[in-house]
Amino acid sequence: MASHLACFNAPCRAHFDLNEVLYNCPNCGGLLEVEYDFSDVDASVLKRVWRERRMENSPLSQSGVWRYRELFPFLDDLAHVITLREGNTPLLDAPRAAGYGGLARVVFKHQGFNPTGSFKDNGMTCGAAQAKRLGMRRVACVSTGNTSASMAAYASAGGLEPLIFIPHGNISYGKLAQALEYGAKTFQVEANFDQILALVRTLAEKLGIYLLNSINPFRIEGQKSIVIEMLDQRDWRVPDWIVLPGGNLGNVSAFGKGLRELHRLGFLDRLPRLGVVQAEGSSPFYEYMRAGGSSAFRAVEHPETLATAIKIGDPVSWPKAQFEIESSKGVVERVTEAEIADAKAIVGRCGIGCEPASAASLAGIRKLTAAGVIDRDADVVAVLTGNVLKDPDYIYKFHTGQLEAPGGSLIRSSLENRPVVVPNDAARITELLDE
Binding site for ligand F0G (CB under 6 A): 118, 120, 143-147, 214, 245-251, 309-310, 355, 357-358, 385-386
- Quick one: 301 or 431, whose CB is closer to ligand F0G? 301
The DSSP element (H or E) to which 3 belongs, if any, is none
Distance between CA atoms of residues 131 and 142, nearest Å:
16
Cβ 48 to ligand F0G shortest distance, Å: 31
Q: Indicate the burial class of 265 (C-beta count within 10 angstroms; 0-12, 13-18, 19 or more).
A: middle
Cβ 238 to ligand F0G shortest distance, Å: 22
Q: Indicate the burial class of 237 (C-beta count within 10 angstroms; 0-12, 13-18, 19 or more).
A: exposed
- Quick one: 30 or 250, whose CB is closer to ligand F0G? 250
DSSP letters for 272-317: PEEEEEEEGGG-HHHHHHHTTS-S-----SS---S-GGG--SS-TT
Cβ 144 to ligand F0G shortest distance, Å: 4
- Quick one: 46 or 197, whose CB is closer to ligand F0G? 197
DSSP letters for 92-111: EE-HHHHHHTT-S-EEEEEG
- What length is written for the chain? 435
CB atoms within 10 A of CB 267: 20
- Quick one: 50 or 117, whose CB is closer to ligand F0G? 117
- Quick one: 158 or 247, whose CB is closer to ligand F0G? 247
> What would you report as the CA-atom Rg of the chain, rounded to the nearest whole angstrom?
21
Distance between CA atoms of residues 88 and 148, nearest Å:
21
Cβ 183 to ligand F0G shortest distance, Å: 18
Cβ 211 to ligand F0G shortest distance, Å: 13
- Quick one: 63 or 144, whose CB is closer to ligand F0G? 144
Cβ 100 to ligand F0G shortest distance, Å: 19
